[in-house]
Amino acid sequence: MFKKTLHIGTSPHIIGGSSTDQIMRNVVFALLPVAAFAVYTFGLSALLLLITALASCLLTEYFLNRWIDKSSPLSDWSVTITGLLYGLTLPPHLPLWMVFVGGVIAVALGKFIFGGLGYNVFNPALVGRAFIQAAFPVAITTWMAPFLPDRFSHIPGSTLTLPFLKPVYDITSGATPLSLMKFEHHTTDTYNLLMGMTSGSTGETSALLILLGGLYLIARKMMNWRIPVALLGTVYLISTVLHWSNPDIYPGGLFMLFSGGLMLGAVFMATDMVASPITPLGATVYGIIIGIMIYVIRVWGGLPEGVMYAILFGNAVSPHIDNFIRPRVYGTGKQWSKS
């Protein structure tokens, strides 16, 4: 005898591909080597910073979602990405209380008020960083030298600054390759940039590990390759052409590619699926727009680095790109018009 009741549902009766939580989890995996190298480069301060960034983002997501009665808000892993990315964009010895405040802002104002996962207009991690940039402009542009000998035994004084007090910097500070270039006209060797031997934000220094993480996600079809390719290609092309026209003023293409937050931004930030266009052509245009913005801010703007603002700008125009760039629907358009 067969069962009396059968399960019904409408087709398709099979599903394939990866699920959203799998995609998010894999982005976290791709970021782990970058985070590990950050801790290796900057020591205890980077470790504490990443833990604080993660904790503030996860706690904010958890409590806000509990407040509106959403169950298991952390199970989709998206806020883990936000926490990690946010931490990786900050200077390694930023006071922890600032890190915490920025993390709360990132999730609450960057994600939650828009409606949570899938509805954010901007990349939440960058919203958090933008807040820090506006609120603590000095702290976020004070850099720490890499590979200090006592980095695993000594916690920098600034890291443990009490809330609302001015941080005291007790360790060797370092200038980032971009500020060296901008203010002292000194370019850093590309090899050092690639391998992460320089000063900079916690997770931006090793271009190589970031690229490997990106390649992993592209191979697993969990990242739209067009965005980083268009973005990096645009920056490289503009800087190479201008460098060739006047090498004294304009830095070379490779230096531009591997310095600052470009690699981290192009691979892990601009590719935030929610805040980027959905069509292949739209994604390419979006990458090009961000690339141009980065170059303009870096070379002609007042700041040494422009990746964050450029991506936030890209996020803002992304819905409009989707509105304007639409693939031609099958069987429509002039050539197929019904006669």
Partner 1 sequence: MLFDLLKKNPTFRHGIHPPQFKEDTRDKPIRHFPFAPVMIIPLAQHIGKPSVPVVSEGQEVTRGQMLARADGFVSVPMHAPASGVIKKIGRVPSISGKMVPGIFLEPFPGSSQEVLEGKPVKVETSTPEEIINAIQNAGIVGLGGAAFPTHVKLKIPEGKHADTLIINGAECEPYLTTDHRVMLEQAPDIIQGVRYLLKATGAARAIIGIESNKPDAAENLRNHLPPDLPLSVQVVEVKYPQGAEKMLITAILGREVPSGGLPIDVHTVVVNVATTAEIGRLLPHGRGIQERVITITGPGIKKKGNYWIPIGTPLRYILEQAGAEEDIDRVFMGGPMMGTAVSSLDIPITKGTSGIVAFREEEARKKDVKIYPCIHCGACVDACPLFLNPSKLGILAKFKDYHTMASDYNLMDCFECGSCTYVCPSHIPLVQYFRISKLVLRNEKAKAPHV
Candidates 60-68, 138-146, 247-255, 327-335: pick the segment binding partner 1 (CB under 8 A): 327-335
Identify any residues that bridge with 173 across adjacent strands, giving them in sequence order.
144
Dist. CA 18–CA 23, nearest whole Å = 7
Single out the residue of 80, 133, 205, 224 in contact with partner 1 (rule: CB under 8 A): 224
Q: Which stretch binds partner 1 (CB under 8 A): 168-176, 246-254, 293-301, 331-339?
A: 331-339
Q: Does 18 bind partner 1 (CB under 8 A)?
A: yes
Encoded one letter per residue, x for contact with partner 1 by CB under 8 A and - for no contact, window 286-325 reads ------------------------------------x---
Backbone phi and psi for residue 71, each to the nearest 5 degrees, phi listed first: -85, 155
Closest Cα to residue 223, out of 215, 231, 234?
215
Q: From CA 49, how far away is CA 221, in angstroms rounded?
A: 31
Q: What is the dihedral of CA 47, 53, 57, 62, to 10 degrees?
A: 40
Residue with tokens 């936000």: 82
**Residue for token digits 């007790």?**
170
**Considering the complex, what minimum distance in angstroms separates the CB of residue 280 from partner 1?**
8
Contact 266, 114 (CB under 8 A): no
Q: Which is nearer to partner 1, 58 or 194 (CB)?
A: 58
Structure token pair of residue 192: 């050092």
- The piece of 205-213, 231-239, 287-295, 328-336 that touches partner 1 (CB under 8 A) is 328-336
**Cβ atoms 262, 235 nearer than 8 A:** yes
Size, binding site for partner 1 by CB under 8 A:
49
Pattern 173-212, partner 1, x by CB under 8 A: ----------------------------------------
Would you count residue 165 as binding partner 1 (CB under 8 A)?
A: no
* Amino acid code (one letter) for 319: P
Alpha-carbon gap, residue 40 to 57, rounded angstroms: 23
Distance of CA 63 to the CA centre of its chain: 24
CB of 18 to partner 1, least distance (A): 5
Task: Tell me, rounded to whole angstroms, the distance of Cα 193 from its chain centroid.
Answer: 18
Map residues 20-59 to x or -, x wherever contact with partner 1 holds by CB under 8 A: xxxx------------------------------------
CB of residue 10 to partner 1, shortest distance in Å: 5
- Among the listed ranges 26-34, 116-124, 190-198, 286-294, the one in contact with partner 1 (CB under 8 A) is 116-124
Q: Show the beta-strand stretches assigned E in 234-292.
A: none
Of 245 and 335, CB closest to partner 1: 335
Which residues are within 8 A (CB) of 24 and not within 5 positions of it... i.e. 6 or more apart?
Answer: 76, 77, 78, 80, 81
In the complex, the smallest distance separating the C-beta of residue 217 from partner 1, rounded to whole angstroms, is 12
Determine, following the binding rule CB under 8 A, whether residue 267 of this chain makes contact with partner 1: no
Residues that bind partner 1 (CB under 8 A): 1-3, 6-23, 75-76, 78, 115-119, 224, 273-276, 278-280, 283, 322, 326-332, 336-338
